[in-house]
Chains A and B, each alone.
Chain A
């Protein structure tokens, strides 16, 4: 690993270099919530001063840039009885992400395992993922963050640069050759012992800030044992089946496919739309049979997929502990509370 240190003003120069001929997406303050705290979103940014690098979290993850809500898979030109299929992976330009937190980069790494691994890598995702330049930035744990429990509070790969504010200067971790060469265009210096000490002090301080936790010990087994537990029904009774949790989640990737034909019957579209396993017809098949007709079975399934099935397949959970789903849920359903209740640790 190669580290550098730069003055704060140099980050603006780095931004300008990258923004000169790339789309840069970063955290931007979009308003205030009821309590007067900043609301943030990932948006294309042209001016460094619009970036809010000290952001706490965003309501929505950055996934619309690599898993758009609606995306065309293919189009057809229809000519009488015959047709031609055209597939477009929609990767026109690289995207620079300026200021992703560790959890969101870890989310990408998890998505890579499903969407770029196994027998059928997904070209629509891969095309965008391989065309990203990612600058990570350190963060302050919020009351709803439990990334540390999920092992996602630090990130080991899947980005180009990671920047930590160590007080009037930035500590930079370099992960790619591209990043190394771009950094050569701003003023940096090798870190000194005092920078290392400051970095470690900041990391140690951050670790003490977490208030939200999930106990993942033996969780795959406990979930199996408690498959019939009445707590699922209790959460299910609260759940509205709205799918908001999946919508805001950086690792939810499930989708549905629909085809539509244009009025003139000359062309047709095959479109993928992100879906949520909490929505009623997620597992309904022809003839009307629904494998998960009850809300609690769907809510339970979401937890099983993230905290059991994915762990079995990849030895890690499909949840990075960003807490977005709990913050967004109108019914107040949060991962730490659900897991605690399944473990019989109800408060």
Chain B
């Protein structure tokens, strides 16, 4: 019996995408803080490496065969095509294994998945990049894009808040950002004796940036906000208050993910798949997602 073909016609190519894993190698590991490490990961096959490309804000599923698989935002420049960098915090089973990983270890990469920060549509604008804690990891990719196309943007400000100075990520990068005329404000919640910077919540850094700005500035400003829900909620409320349109604020949502492809439903917010329609959403969409914030 030849079975009939139910459902729509599918291409073999599309089907093969589902469990397609790029075999990759950990090219280097650098410890950033007690809990976070930066992994440089290179796809082994040169042809596959050439084909792999991503946009700032997208994520990959990183797999250790037999241990597990989890989503991580790409933390490097979209134009460095040789490798990708992931900044990973030790949080559970898989990440504890990764914390013990050394150079040369082979991992699997699926993706890239999800939506991205619309960098092209921000050309000619001021950009506020606002990060709380580990939220700086996914912001490093759009920041790299801005650095590489600095003359396409007006004023660019990074505002970064973290709990205490020992948790600061990417400290080696700060001077390079400033050199590219990107403003960098850092605030900590719990200072140590050596800390000379401001203390408090991120909104304290934001206030002076948007206070007293004229309508033209506000209307020509986009914001990328990344951090825990409580943080992006208060930041976006403040930006909204200042007059920045909600469609020009972008946040990245974190949800549990087991597939990255709109199948397992674990990432659903209300009924939107964070892995397909997100993780990057404009704030207006987030406002319309029941249970998102």
Binding site for B on A (CB under 8 A): 18, 21-22, 73-74, 76, 78, 81-83, 85, 87, 89, 94, 108, 112, 114-124, 126, 129-134, 158-160, 176-179, 182, 224, 227, 253-261, 265, 268-270, 272, 275, 277, 282-287, 291-292, 297, 301, 304-305, 308-310, 312-313
Contacts and interface: CB of A to CB of B under 8 A. Distances in A.
Given A116-B8, A130-B7, A260-B66, A301 B1 contact: no
Contacts of A256: 258, 264, 266
B291 A301 contact: yes
Nearest to A308: B271
Contact of A254 (B67, B70, B264, B269): B264
Nearest to B16: A123
Nearest to B17: A120
B263 A114 contact: yes
A73 B283 CA distance: 36
A82 B7 contact: no
B255 A285 contact: yes
B4 interface: yes
Interface of B: 1-8, 10, 14-19, 21, 23, 63-70, 91-92, 95, 104-106, 108, 254-256, 258-259, 261-266, 268-272, 276, 290-291
A21 B1 CA distance: 8
B4 A179 contact: yes
Nearest to A311: B271
A85 B22 CA distance: 10
A61 to B, nearest CB: 17
A133 B3 contact: yes
A163 to B, nearest CB: 17
A178 B15 contact: no
Chain A interface, DSSP helix/strand/loop, else mixed: mixed
A143 B127 CA distance: 60
Contact of B65 (A21, A22, A259): A259
A150 to B, nearest CB: 17
A268 B258 contact: no
Contacts of A176: 4
**Taking each of A81, A159, A258, A270, which has the highest tally of chain B beta carbons within 10 Å of its own beta carbon?**
A270
A115 B262 CA distance: 9
B70 to A, nearest CB: 8
A312 B271 contact: yes
A256 B259 CA distance: 8
A130 B271 contact: no
B6 A122 contact: no
A112 B6 contact: yes
Given A116-B10, A179-B4, A270-B69, 17 more contacts: A21-B1, A85-B21, A112-B6, A119-B262, A120-B17, A123-B19, A126-B15, A130-B7, A131-B3, A132-B3, A158-B6, A254-B265, A291-B256, A291-B269, A292-B291, A304-B290, A310-B271
A308 B271 CA distance: 7
A134 to B, nearest CB: 8
